[in-house]
Amino acid sequence: MTRVLLVEDDRELGELLLRVLGNAGYAADLARDGQAGLHQALTRGYDLLIVDRRLPAIEGLDLLARLRRSGVQAPALILTALGTVADRIAGLDGGAEDYVVKPFDVDELLARIRVLLRRRPAPAGHTLAVGAAEFDLITRMVTADDGAATVLSGRESDLLRLLAEQPSRVFSRREIVARVFPESGTESLADTYVHYLRRKLGTGVVTTVRGTGYRLGCL
């Protein structure tokens, strides 16, 4: 059974989500503050993390950062009332694979959970070449030939993986959104995340094929 850790300090909402997750077939545990969430995530194996941001003891993004540094790579969904564009970007750049703003639709939340859980596992070896750099699919780290290392967010990692697995292929914006952001459908997300990759790894990491889309470049 798929195991989900919910880190939520709102008692009523936490109990409601436990029932929703249980009815959907998930084995869910509830932690009511960031410290409890950290302990449970480090000592038990979970397939998915659902984390609030405004948590007692340890704030949600700080919690997620500590878990990533400790090697916990379960996909994470931020569930919070903080819904500005800057908040969303901070959450996704902070290691979350998805970001849902309260109040939310339960059916949409469950759909987003299904999307995260069906992400492909890393292949044997766990690394892909990006020009002269090495991309580790487990740690989401890109290491250049000079040893410089950059950690990607979940969505940045998904996009780079798509391009790096077929480096000579040109992907249209529509196809990128369908493969990497299936719950959205907004084609501008492809441009946004290409921009994020270029900002972190250099402009050459993704090549624009005018009128067609994007393909892997080189670092």
Residue 117 is predicted with a pLDDT of 86
The residue from 117, 144, 172 where one domain ends is 117
The residue from 91, 117, 143 where one domain ends is 117
> Considering the domain boundaries, does residue 136 fall inside one?
yes
Residue 78 is predicted with a pLDDT of 96
For residues 178 and 202, membership in a common domain is answered with yes
Rounded Cα distance between 180 and 189, Å, is 9
What CATH number is attached to the domain comprising 89? 3.40.50.2300
> Considering the domain boundaries, does residue 172 fall inside one?
yes
205: DSSP letter: G
The mean pLDDT value for 71-78 works out to 88
Residue 201 is predicted with a pLDDT of 94
For residues 142 and 109, membership in a common domain is answered with no
- Local confidence band at 166 (pLDDT 50, 70, 90 cut-offs): confident
> Considering the domain boundaries, does residue 166 fall inside one?
yes
For residues 182 and 107, membership in a common domain is answered with no
- Is the Cβ–Cβ distance between 120 and 127 less than 8 Å? no
**Considering the chain, what is the average pLDDT of its residues?**
89
Q: Which residues of 146-159 are buried (b: 16+ CB within 10 A; e: fewer)?
A: eeeebbbbbbbbbb
For residues 81 and 142, membership in a common domain is answered with no
Residue that the structure tokens 């194996």 belong to: 45
pLDDT in tens, 85-115: 899 989 988 889 899 999 999 999 999 999 8
For residues 82 and 166, membership in a common domain is answered with no
For residues 71 and 133, membership in a common domain is answered with no
Parent domain of 70: 3-117
Residue 122 is predicted with a pLDDT of 55
- Local confidence band at 219 (pLDDT 50, 70, 90 cut-offs): low
> Considering the domain boundaries, does residue 170 fall inside one?
yes
> Considering the domain boundaries, does residue 122 fall inside one?
no
> Considering the domain boundaries, does residue 112 fall inside one?
yes
For residues 102 and 131, membership in a common domain is answered with no
Residue 53 is predicted with a pLDDT of 95
> Considering the domain boundaries, does residue 195 fall inside one?
yes
Residue 132 is predicted with a pLDDT of 86
Tokens of 219: 């670092």
The residue from 62, 88, 117 where one domain ends is 117
For residues 202 and 175, membership in a common domain is answered with yes
Residue 120 is predicted with a pLDDT of 56
For residues 61 and 143, membership in a common domain is answered with no
For residues 170 and 88, membership in a common domain is answered with no
What CATH number is attached to the domain comprising 174? 1.10.10.10
pLDDT in tens, 118-159: 765 555 568 889 988 999 988 889 998 888 899 998 889 999
pLDDT above 70 (res 185): no
pLDDT in tens, 112-128: 999 888 765 555 568 88
Mode of pairing for the β-strands spanning 127-130 and 133-136: antiparallel
pLDDT above 80 (res 209): yes
For residues 95 and 134, membership in a common domain is answered with no
Residue 51 is predicted with a pLDDT of 97
Residue 80 is predicted with a pLDDT of 94
For residues 7 and 45, membership in a common domain is answered with yes
Domain count, the chain: 2
Residue 123 is predicted with a pLDDT of 55
